[in-house]
Homo-oligomer: A and B are copies of this chain.
Amino acid sequence: MKVDTKDTVQRDEVHGDEVQTECCAPLTDAPIDDSVAAELARTYAALADPVRLKMLSLIAASGEVCSCDFVEPLAKSQPTVSHHTKILAEAGLIDGDKRGRWVHWRVRSGREDFVRRVLGAGSD
Residues of A bordering B, CB below 8 Å: 1-3, 5, 7, 9, 11, 21, 23-32, 34, 36-41, 43-45, 47-54, 57-58, 60-64, 66, 68-69, 72-73, 99-100, 102, 104, 106-107, 112-122, 124
Cβ of B32 and Cβ of A68 under 8 Å apart? no
Q: How many whole Å from A36's CB to the nearest CB in chain B?
A: 7
Cβ of B50 and Cβ of A3 under 8 Å apart? no
A114-B119 contact given A2-B73, A34-B50, A40-B47, CB 8 Å threshold: no
Chain B residues within 8 Å of A38, by CB: 50
Chain B residues within 8 Å of A100, by CB: 5
